[in-house]
Chain A
Amino acid sequence: GAVVSQHPSWVICKSGTSVKIECRSLDFQATTMFWYRQFPKQSLMLMATSNEGSKATYEQGVEKDKFLINHASLTLSTLTVTSAHPEDSSFYICSARVLVRGTDTQYFGPGTRLTVL
């Protein structure tokens, strides 16, 4: 159980275009999902917390108008990178929060590698 998927696994786009990444919890419901970004040889940096049915909470320094997050259902959160630029090229990973035997746990998706040309 507790499988999280992401789509697409990789994407290449032209500068100025928008890219949507999906994060799904396949066998459980997740009221809260998280979006991380990881640059090469660096750690995972939390971008935002996605809450089902409400606005996402963004970390300091993350532009909410550039990284649009929608959590329309209990199993799906989407991240849209708008007007992408080469510096947005990164590995984007989502995670879903779930209670396992009363304990707060997170499961990670496989990640999406974005390359902006």
Chain B
Amino acid sequence: GENVEQHPSTLSVQEGDSAVIKCTYSDSASNYFPWYKQELGKRPQLIIDIRSNVGEKKDQRIAVTLNKTAKHFSLHITETQPEDSAVYFCAALGSSASKIIFGSGTRLSIRP
């Protein structure tokens, strides 16, 4: 089955700097890669996603890149702000049964 690995587990950046979170996946048939932001005690919120027919997608300060050959995908947040502090999860939609498998999460802290 699909396996998703995520790094780093914690990340602290200065406000205004960029943050990058990286993930790898194992199932070469996976074709959908969402990113979620989760605040304490709340549901994961979809912030951006990318499909396998696209290499990069951007939405304001957030961008995601996908390298299908290497089975890598990354989240980039530019001009970070205090409200960006949260736990971020990458995920991949497995080829069987449409199951979304989550990475282990990255706790992002923005230093003022």
Contacts and interface: CB of A to CB of B under 8 A. Distances in A.
A34 B44 CA distance: 14
Interface of B: 32, 41-44, 51, 89, 93, 97-105
A109 B43 contact: yes
Contacts of B97: 49, 57
Chain A: interface residue count, which band?
20 to 34
10 closest A-B pairs by beta carbon, nearest first, are A108-B43, A44-B102, A43-B102, A43-B104, A110-B43, A43-B105, A111-B43, A104-B98, A108-B44, A49-B97
B105 A42 contact: yes
- Majority SS of interface residues in chain A? strand
Given A93-B43, A103-B51, A111-B43, A43 B89 contact: yes
Contact of A34 (B51, B100, B104): B100
Given A109-B43, A111-B41, 4 more contacts: A34-B99, A95-B100, A110-B42, A111-B42
Interface of A: 32, 34, 42-46, 49, 57, 91, 93, 95, 97, 103-104, 106, 108-111, 113
